[in-house]
Amino acid sequence: MIHLDDVTLTFPDGDSRITAVDHVSLTAPAGVVTGITGPSGSGKSSILAVAATLIRPDSGRVLIGDVDAATLSRKEATALRRDGIGIVFQQSNLVPSLTAREQLLVMAELGGGGRRDRTVVRRRADALLDAVGLMAHAGKRPAQLSGGQRQRVAIARALVNDPSVLLVDEPTSALDQERGAEIMDLIAQLTHGQGTATLLVTHDLVHRAALDRLVTVVDGRIADVDEPGRAQSVPRTAYSTTSSR
């Protein structure tokens, strides 16, 4: 589980400061895909950056398990990010010279894989590639894969160290609707199957059905939380832009 407790984040704006996240409290439970949506500039990507320990908030707590990530040093935050948080960016950011399998093995090595049996690490990598439907492409490099396949590798890579938290930023922004739906369904399946606490930023509400919960952010504040059992019909054109803080 990850819990943001009364988090505020500001940025310099000339002689003053602009508030990107305004006293936000938000929980992403284990085994649940919690979506964050909102118009451009609403602060949704800033919330994700705080959750990822990439930015320290001005105030509030960022609880990952029993650890308040907002109080960690840079070195401690890096270690937490490496071992306990999986991050999937808008672009897959794969290493061009590495095969799909090697992308995962390198991440496992960075996450302490060198202290584990290499056979076990390779088995974990292959199991994840199989889970995302890419075992047959394990030996291919990024240039040999489609956009959707590269994003699948990125998801598998984010999960290779068995993180308790998965943070996903606009995973369908560079994909057509069909491939986007496949990626969203895959994230949901892996979240439910592995018990990961998943926080996913999206502007594209056509994929709403893949989300267990949906949090709407406006002007840095939570405007609405759509929980299971409530109406889930959301207009396709609710937000038409893809950029966010």
The SS3 assignment for 83 reads helix
Return the CATH architecture of domain 2-94+162-226.
Answer: 3-Layer(aba) Sandwich (3.40)
Greater confidence (62 vs 178) lies with 62
**In the predicted structure, residue 241 carries a pLDDT above the cut 60:** no
Burial of 146 (0-12, 13-18, 19+ CB in 10 A): exposed
> Closest by alpha carbon to 159, among 120, 116, 129, 114?
129
- % of the chain beyond a pLDDT of 70: 91
Each domain of the chain, given as residue ranges in start order, spans 2-94+162-226
Q: Any residues with CB less than 8 A from the CB of 78 and at least 6 apart, and which?
A: none
Of 77-81, 110-114, 170-174, 221-225, least confident by mean pLDDT is 110-114
Of 6-20, 159-173, 207-221, 231-245, least confident by mean pLDDT is 231-245
**In the predicted structure, residue 229 carries a pLDDT above the cut 80:** no
Distances in Å between the Cα of 164 and the Cα atoms of 42, 47, 83, 223 are 27, 18, 9, 27
The pair of structure tokens assigned to 173 is 């922004």
Which residue do the tokens 């500001």 mark?
A: 10
Output the pTM of the full model: 0.86
- Residues composing the chain: 245
pLDDT digits (tens, 9 = 90+) for 9-35: 999 999 999 999 999 999 999 999 999
| pLDDT at residue 114 in the model | 53
Q: Is-contact 128 159, C-beta < 8 A?
A: yes
Return the sign of the alpha-carbon dihedral for residues 101, 103, 108, 109.
Answer: positive
Of 107-111, 158-162, 220-224, least confident by mean pLDDT is 107-111
**In the predicted structure, residue 242 carries a pLDDT above the cut 80:** no
